[in-house]
Amino acid sequence: MLSRKILIIFFISFIFPQNALSGYGFGSSVDNSEAASLGVSNELLPSFKSKVSLSNPSTWHNLLFSYLNTSVNVQNSVFQSDSSTNFSFSSAKLIIPWKQKMAFGVSFEPFLNREVTISDSTFSSFSFNDEDILFSRINNSSGGPSKGQLSFGYKLNEMDSFGTSLNIIFGSSRSSRNLIVDNENHLLQSRDYFSGNMIDLFYSTNRFKIDEKPIFFSVAYSIPLSGIDIENDSYQAFIDLNDNNYHDVNDFPNVGQALLPLTQNFKDELKINSLKFGADYEFSPRKHFQFELLQLSNNGKHSLDNSVYGGHIENKSKLSLSYIKFAQPFSRDRFNFKASMFFQNYGVKNLENINEVGLGLGVGFNFGITGNQIDFGYKYANRTGVFVVEDETLHMFNIGISIGDLWFVKRREI
């Protein structure tokens, strides 16, 4: 019964979340989808357990149990004099280690978020046949593609391991332009269907040491197997006479007299390559210092010009510095503490680049013999150079629950 309620809440929340970056291109990318990594502002380096990052399959063989992780996200965005608070599903992930040699994982998480609404602040007047006609406009987009991920991690030897993830991009986003004339909604709706595949390659090693203390290095490279294609279905504009936001026989022109949707296929609209490099140094027992670099580029064609702002993010660079203190397994010390700061730059095509500076904080609490964990992550970020709104401040709060069990793991392997 509870799960049913939560599903309803998720559905509602998918309708509303937004931040100002959602207006660029096909929407804003979703970073640090699970709570454990939000506090450290990186993805490759251990943040869930010592030597384990939920986002890095090359570390999963270090897990003793299978874990089912679910995260939800609350985001508060402040720009100009407005503020919005939104709740959304963040990620779901199942990781199954096998004989501490390899691991398999399957996950689902949002890929792009396109929730944004822009509207006229006042009504305009138009005179026709000695009548004043009032009108205003609302441009709304929602939804966004999701990412399904199949992952595999393998321990090559005591020093090295690698991992790979096959990312399947699917789902759709909707755009709606509404011209309100004398309280009648004139709707122009379109839908973008996304499909594409990407592969992530991970390599991790702890061959290097400083003062006999190993340094954990990890690198990840993402390449598109095939570019992300978009099928754009554009529906003919109509007057929504019955205000149900749906084109039916009671509208003008009625749905039977309207032109068929115009379907256009765009190949390789998004082609995302990214390279991540990170290092983790355990300078004191269970206390780590981490840094990670990210360089991302989008070489997609972007032929479909339906961006709200008329610009899209071409590349992104990120540097994060983190401190983490892990709990001691099987002891009373059950808390992981994380703190981080990061610098990020978005290169925007046709528009001003965006700079982002932020802080991350996180706490993880271990409970149960199987290492169940609940993670709380908080991120504060300040963006400058955002189109129209200029400055935007984000507060993101993420909660993740990881349940460990012996699913698919033989008891004698522990």
Partner 1 sequence: MKKNFENFNKILITIMFLISCSEETILYDEIENREGTIKTASLPQTNNKLYQSFPSFSSNSKLHFGNVKDSENLFSLVQMTLFSGNIPPVSLVDLLADSIQVDSAMVFFQTSDSLQTDFTLGLYSIIADDDSVFSDSLNYYTKDNFIDYENNSMLLNTLDLSSEIVAPDTTGLDSIKFMFEENSGSLDLLKEYFLDSDTYPARTLMLKDEDGSLNELFTIESNESSNGPKMRVWFKAFVDEETTLDTFITFFSQTDISVFAPPAIEDDDFNYISLNSGSGLRSVIEFDLGIIDSLSRNELFKNSNLVLDVENSNLNEDDEFYIIVSALQDSIQNWGFSTPFVENEEELETISSDANFIISRKIEDNQVRIPIQAFLQGYKNGLFQHNELMLYSAPVNSPFDKVRLNFNAIEVMYVEP
Residues that bind partner 1 (CB under 8 A): 2, 5-6, 9, 12-13, 15-16, 18, 20, 23, 72, 74, 77, 79, 82-87, 116-122, 124, 126, 128-129, 133, 135, 137-139, 177-179, 181, 184, 186-188, 236-239, 252-253, 257-259, 262, 308-309, 387-389
* Residue 77: Cβ-neighbour burial (10 angstroms; 0-12, 13-18, 19+): buried
Minimum Å distance from CB 256 to partner 1?
A: 9
Minimum Å distance from CB 354 to partner 1?
A: 15
Minimum Å distance from CB 248 to partner 1?
A: 16
In the bound state with partner 1, the residue whose beta carbon lies nearer, of 252 and 408, is 252
Which two structure tokens, joined as six digits, stand for 271?
């082609």
In the bound state with partner 1, the residue whose beta carbon lies nearer, of 5 and 332, is 5
In the bound state with partner 1, the residue whose beta carbon lies nearer, of 19 and 274, is 19
Minimum Å distance from CB 264 to partner 1?
A: 12
How many CB atoms sit inside 10 A of residue 51's CB? 19
In the bound state with partner 1, the residue whose beta carbon lies nearer, of 391 and 413, is 391
In the bound state with partner 1, the residue whose beta carbon lies nearer, of 125 and 331, is 125
Minimum Å distance from CB 72 to partner 1?
A: 8
In the bound state with partner 1, the residue whose beta carbon lies nearer, of 181 and 215, is 181
In the bound state with partner 1, the residue whose beta carbon lies nearer, of 123 and 208, is 123
Minimum Å distance from CB 121 to partner 1?
A: 5
Minimum Å distance from CB 66 to partner 1?
A: 23
In the bound state with partner 1, the residue whose beta carbon lies nearer, of 10 and 408, is 10
In the bound state with partner 1, the residue whose beta carbon lies nearer, of 72 and 270, is 72
Minimum Å distance from CB 317 to partner 1?
A: 26
SS3 string, the chain, reads CHHHHHHHHHHHHHHCCCCHHHHCCCCEECCCCCHHHHCCCCCCCCCCECCECCCCHHHHHHCCCEEEEEEEEEEEEEECCEEEEEEEEEEEEEEEEECCCEEEEEEEEECEECCEEEECCCCEEEEECCEEEEEEEEEEEEECCEEEEEEEEEECCCCEEEEEEEEEEEEEEEEEEEEEECCEEEEEEEEEEEEEEEEEEEEEEEEEEECCEEEEEEEEEEEEEEEEEEEEEECCCEEECCCCCCCCCCCECCCCCCCCCEEEEEEEEECEEEEEEEEEEEEECCEEEEEEEEEEEECCCCCCCCCCCCCEEEEEEEEEEEEEECCCCCCCCCEEEEEEEEEEEEEEECCCCEEEEEEEEEEEEEECCCCEEEEEEEEEEEEEEECCCEEEEEEEEEEEEEEEECCCCCHHHC
Minimum Å distance from CB 311 to partner 1?
A: 11
Amino acid at 186: H
Minimum Å distance from CB 307 to partner 1?
A: 11
How many CB atoms sit inside 10 A of residue 125's CB? 9
> CA-CA distance, 30 to 43, in Å (whole number)?
12
